[in-house]
Amino acid sequence: MSGSFHSEKLGKKVWLTNHAIEAMAKRNITMPEVKKLVELGECREMACQHGWIYYEFPERDDNLMCAAVVNEEAIIIKTLMIRWQVR
List of domains in the chain: 4-81 (3.30.2310)
* pTM of the full structure: 0.89
pLDDT number for residue 86:
80
Contact of 84 with 55, CB cutoff 8 Å: no
The neighbouring-strand residues paired with 42 are: 54
User: Residue 51 region, left (φ>0) first, then alpha (ψ -120 to 50), else beta?
Assistant: beta
Q: Which pLDDT value is given to residue 85?
A: 83
Say how many Å lie between the first and final Cα of the chain, rounded: 32
Mean pLDDT of 28-43: 95
Please determine, for residue 19, whether its predicted confidence score (pLDDT) is greater than 90: yes
Residue 27 burial (CB count, 10 A): 16
